[in-house]
Every structure is written in structure tokens, then in C-alpha cells.
Structure 1
Amino acid sequence: MRSYHLTGAGEPEQSLRLREHPIPEPGPTGLLVRVRAAALNRRDELILHDRYPLPSRPEVVPLSDGAGEVVAVGARVTRFRVGDRVVGSYWPRWTGGRLSTHLYDQLGNTVDGMLTEYAVLDQEWAVGVPDSLSWTEAATLPCAAVTAWTSLTGGRGLRPGGTVLTLGSGGVSLFALQLAKAMGCRVICTTSAPEKAERLLALGADEVIDYRVEPEWSGRARELTGGEGADLVVETVGPATFEQSMRSAGLHGEVVFVGGSAVEPELRIATATYARTMATVRRVFVGSRADLADLVRAVAVTGIRPVIDSVFPFEQAREAYRHYLSGGSFGKVVIAIG
């Protein structure tokens, strides 16, 4: 079998190496998964450039997101059987409840990920996916989709008719738009490109703000909500937009902070901005296996189709990385494996 490995910080052409290995055997509670597709996320860019908060294991197989078919199981496996379709959980040992430091393993970072023809996952690391999703679609769920799901559901809880504000057209923002609309919410999006605005509207956005035309876009967000502000802001950018996100939130709203990296400057907010609001800030770091299972059920029931920007063959994984790094994608960049 073939697997890609990260050999150090740098660019895809130098750091991503394809190697041959024997097909592994699953342990007593393990699943041997024939990986069919894997998907890129922003954290994979951060890991590649050594800007991620958690250090990576040397020579790790990258990518947390991947979907495949179980082709062999260990003797003590009870949760799955041969032929099942599965994805791996971003935090494999965080099955539910609160995240704690002793659970700090991640697929594609501290343990081998999904950019490989065969992966071994413990049965507790996996979640089944429905036949209604293609391999390409299923592969996009573990990181961005779960992050969007926990952003929307992990706080006070959104109600139909509530207003959600999303930033840009990255994977988390697109999933948040789709999921919030399925929950009966109004969604306002920001973007800088007219063509992306049209696509956001086609996905269900109620309003789109061009932040190049209106750099102080919080004023427009409040105007669109009758001066009340958004019930929930999904903040996926970081320090550069955090002030505007806080100003966009309603009096008792929430700003869910998803963006940021280990080397970005301080996260600051003007005292006057915070003094005039009762809004809370909630940090989200993807979610547990239970959150992934809930997200998969929600996608299956609502019929949401993940937005796919492009699909690259396994042999062109470096080109997939390069396309993702260009920043021009709208939707998920996926690598088809088999």
C-alpha cells in the first residue's frame, strides 16, 4: 500500500513524501479501512507550516478527514463489521463529554491520518456514514462539519428564527450556513467576491455583506438585524475580524471563536466594545466522536450535501495541497484514493 508522510515543515513538494508499506493487520479492537477519499482543512495547512498549537509526530500520515470501507476487523470488534462505511473522529480518544488534556491525540497530527490507501482505526475512533453520501462527501465531515455543528449546538442552543452570522466561504462557514438554514435560522454571510456572494445566496444565505466595500461590516450586520445584532457569530478568521464579530453580536448573543493559530498576534478587543454588550465568547475545537455521530445523523436527515470545490487523484496529493493553499477554493478540496 501507499501512504503520504510529512517529513517536516515546508511546502508540499518538499514535505509530503509518498512511501510504500505492507498492508497492516488490525489489532484486537482495530478496523482495517480501505480509504476511499480524504479532505483538507485549514489545520493541515498550519501543520504543514509548523504553525499548529499541537506538535506533530515525525513522519506522520497527514489529514484528519477521510472515509472508507472496513475490510477487516479485530477479534474483539463489536461496533462495526466488514463492509461498513466509516469516517474517523478528529480527536480519536475523545468519545464524549468534555475534552481533557489526556485525550490530546489527533488523526493526521499525533497519530497517523487518512492520506493513505489503508488506515487502521480502533473501533472507538470511528463513526458510520450513510450510503446516501458519496465517499467524496463523507470524507469532508470529521473536521469542518463537526466544528460548524458544535458551533451551532454547543452553547445556549439556537432556535428557529434566530440569526447566525458566518465569515467568508471556508469549510466551517459553508457547513454552518447549511446547518443553520436546516435549523430554521436566518443566515448572514460576509465575503469579498461577488461571484462567491452569488454562490452563498444559492446555498440559502439570506443576506451577504461585501467586507471590502464595507470594512466596518458590523454596522451593516446590525442594520440587517434591525439594530439587534446576530444571535450567534461563527468567528472563523481570528484577530483581524474579532472586533467586528463582537460588534455584530446581539446583546445576549454568542461569538464562537474557531479561527486563529499558534503564531498570530494577540486577540484584542476595545474596552468600549465589550462594555456595551453581554455577549459571550465560546471556544470550539472541533468536537467529540459523539458530536461527529450527531452531525452525521443531522446531515443524513436533512439531506445536506457538502460543497465540493475540487477532487484530485491520490497521485496528485501535492497539487491538492497547493490548490488549497492558494486560498481560492469554494468548498472542500478532496483527494480521491480508491
Structure 2
Amino acid sequence: MRYFCIEKEYDIDALQLMEKEVPRPGHGQVLVRMRAASLNYRDLLAIGGSYSRNLPLPLIPLSDGAGEVVEIGEGVTRWQQGDRVAGTFFQDWDGGEITDEVPKSALGGAIDGVLAEYVLFRERGLVALPAHLSFEEGATLPCAALTAWHALQSGNLACGQAVLTLGTGGVSLFALQFARTAGARVIATTGSEAKAEKLRLLGAGEVINYKTEPNWETAVWKLTGRRGVDLVVEVGGAGTLGKSLKAVRTGGHISLIGVLSGSTGEVNPLPAVMKSARIQGIYVGSREMCETMIRAIEMHGIRPVIDHVFPFSEAKAAYRYLQSAAHFGKVVIAIQ
């Protein structure tokens, strides 16, 4: 089998295509023939060495992948040969609250990921793919989709409420799709007029260009009748959190997810206090959350937004394309 590996140093150019024997599943394990994998911003941080210098090298990267079961180990009852599945981001978070042990089972970080032709998974570290999705579409669900789903669920999103999404990455687009399905109004931001039109086609009620309107929080305030949005899906981090605090309503909710604008910076906590706003950190989600999300995706026929699919041999090009920030939606690698 072939697989990609970060062996000794952190860099996209350090990604190496290697070979080894196909593993055999042990007790409670499932062998999956991978058909597709998708990239997240986290993967850029990991391969660049800024996610964590404690990553165990050599490391097979990427957390998100989908494929078909080809062999099951002793004691496995949840799956059988031929099942179409995706691996869960955390292999050891079945349900309930997150614990200190959960991050130790994160694919493509604490443990080997899915950028390989075959991968061994824990029996409960898999979910069934929605029947209407391709492997490429299914590979986008474990991190980006579930993070967006968790972000909206944590804010108790209800029909008729207003949601603010930032940018056009995978999490933000999934949040837009889920929020619209729930009957919410979505205000989105982007720095591109071409992307703004795509956001409107996906269902965004209003789109703010943060390059022409750098004080986008004021624009949000005006669009909501000087009330603010009910929920912010905050993927920017330190560079945008202050603006999100101004854009959210009194008693509103901010789901804090990413660090796209940086991990350091000054944030005035006073608006959070004066507005009694809730800020909830979101770290992907559990298998049970993922299964609930997949039922909703199937019920409403939701299809992930994929920008480009690269062949397995062009994995480095996929990383570089994501790095360019030219994408609208998910960047996927087909594993054939």
C-alpha cells in the first residue's frame, strides 16, 4: 500500500510518498480501503509545524477520509465488508462531554491519519456515509461538517434566528447550509465579490465584503436593526473575536472554533460581560454527534461544497491550493 508521510521535518515539500504492507485488523479493528480524503486548515498548521511541535513523527497526515470496509477483526459487529464509511476525527470520543483523553486519539495529529490507501480504524471510530453522497463528499464530513454542526447546536439555534458566518472555508459553508436548513437567517462575510455571489446562491441573506467594509461588525449591527446576531460561528480567532463580540446580540452566543486570523492578540472582554454573551470553544465533536448530523444531512439531502478534487499523486498540490486561500469550500484528494 502507498501512503504519504511527514517523516523528519515540517514542510509541504517534506511530504513523502512511501510504501508498506497492508495492515491486518486485530480485535475490534476495521480495515478500510480509503477512497478520498479532505484537507482542513488544521492540516496546514500541522505540516508547517505550527499546530504542535509535539506531533509524533513520522506521521501520516489528514483527519478526514472515507472509503469502504474490506476486512473486519475479531469481535467486530457494527460493520461488514463493503460498508461505505468515514473515520471519526477523534477515535476515542463516542459521546458525552470531552475529556483530557479524547485529543490523544485525533487522527492526523496525535495518531496517524488517513492519507493512505488503507487505514485501520477502531470499530466505534467509524460512521456510515449518507447514501446520496460520493466518497469525495463523504470525506468532508468528519471535521469541517461536524465542527459546524456542533457550533450551531451549542448555541441552541432556532428557526428565525440570525447567524453570522466568517469567510468561505469548509466550516463556514457547512454552517451556512445547516443554518438555512434550520430556518435561520445567515449573514456571511467574504473578501471576494465572486465568492459573495456563491454565498448568496447557497442561501446567505446578506453578504458583507470585509475588504470594502473593514468595520463589518458595524454593518452586521445595522443589518439586524441594531440588535446583533443570535449566533456567531467564529473561525477567525484573536483577530476577529473582538468584532464578533460587537456583532452578537445581548445574551447571544459565539462558537469559537479557529485561528485563521492568528492565535495571539488583544481582546477586550468587556463587551462579553456587558452583553452577557456566551463564548463556547468548539473542538470538532463526538461520534454520536456525527451520527445525528449525518441523519440530518440524509433527511434534507444536503451536499457538501467541494472546490477541487486532486489525485492522490498530487497531494502536495492540494496542500498548496488550500494554502492559497483561493478555494470556495473543501479541497479533496481522491485515493484511487
| Contact 2:238 2:265 (C-alpha < 8 Å) held by counterparts | yes
Corresponding position of 1:99: 98
CA distance in 2, matches of 1:176, 1:235: 11
CA distance in 1, matches of 2:24, 2:272: 55
Corresponding position of 2:272: 274
| Contact 1:127 1:293 (C-alpha < 8 Å) held by counterparts | yes
CA deviation string 1:269-328 (max 9, x = no partner): 263x33531211110011011111111111111111100010000011111111111111
CA distance in 2, matches of 1:147, 1:252: 22
Between Structure 1 and Structure 2, how many residues are aligned? 335
Moved more, 50-59 or 129-138: 50-59
CA distance in 2, matches of 1:269, 1:290: 36
Question: Superposition pairs for residues 111-190 of structure 1, below 5 Å?
Answer: 111-155=111-155, 157-190=156-189
- Cα offset for 1:216? 1.2
CA distance in 1, matches of 2:248, 2:100: 31
CA distance in 2, matches of 1:97, 1:321: 33
For 1:249, give the aligned amino acid: V
- Cα offset for 1:130? 2.2
Corresponding position of 1:216: 215
Residue 265, structure 1, aligned to residue 264, structure 2: yes
* SS of 1:57 mapped into structure 2: coil
| Contact 1:8 1:48 (C-alpha < 8 Å) held by counterparts | no
Gaps of 5+ in 2: none
Gaps of 5+ in 1: none
Corresponding position of 1:310: 308
Corresponding position of 2:22: 23
1:319 to 314, 317, 320: 317
Corresponding position of 2:61: 62
| Contact 2:154 2:255 (C-alpha < 8 Å) held by counterparts | no
For 1:47, give the aligned amino acid: A
CA distance in 2, matches of 1:289, 1:54: 27
CA distance in 1, matches of 2:181, 2:4: 37
CA distance in 2, matches of 1:9, 1:265: 25
For 1:137, give the aligned amino acid: E
CA distance in 2, matches of 1:134, 1:70: 15
What is the TM-score when the length of structure 2 is the normalising length? 0.97
CA distance in 2, matches of 1:332, 1:9: 26
Residue 7, structure 1, aligned to residue 7, structure 2: yes
- Cα offset for 1:125? 0.6
- Cα offset for 1:53? 4.7
CA distance in 1, matches of 2:288, 2:273: 36
CA deviation string 1:192-245 (max 9, x = no partner): 110000000000000001111111111110111111100000000111111110
| Contact 1:55 1:109 (C-alpha < 8 Å) held by counterparts | no
| Contact 1:238 1:267 (C-alpha < 8 Å) held by counterparts | no
* SS of 1:90 mapped into structure 2: coil
- Cα offset for 1:174? 0.4
Distance 1:304 1:54, change over 3 A: farther
| Contact 2:170 2:330 (C-alpha < 8 Å) held by counterparts | yes
CA distance in 1, matches of 2:300, 2:30: 29
What is the TM-score when the length of structure 1 is the normalising length? 0.96
| Contact 1:70 1:84 (C-alpha < 8 Å) held by counterparts | yes
- Cα offset for 1:264? 2.6
Residue 40, structure 1, aligned to residue 39, structure 2: yes
CA deviation string 1:132-166 (max 9, x = no partner): 100110000000100000000123x1110000000
Corresponding position of 2:243: 244
1:297 to 292, 295, 298: 295
- Cα offset for 1:246? 0.4
- Cα offset for 1:188? 0.2
| Contact 1:9 1:47 (C-alpha < 8 Å) held by counterparts | no
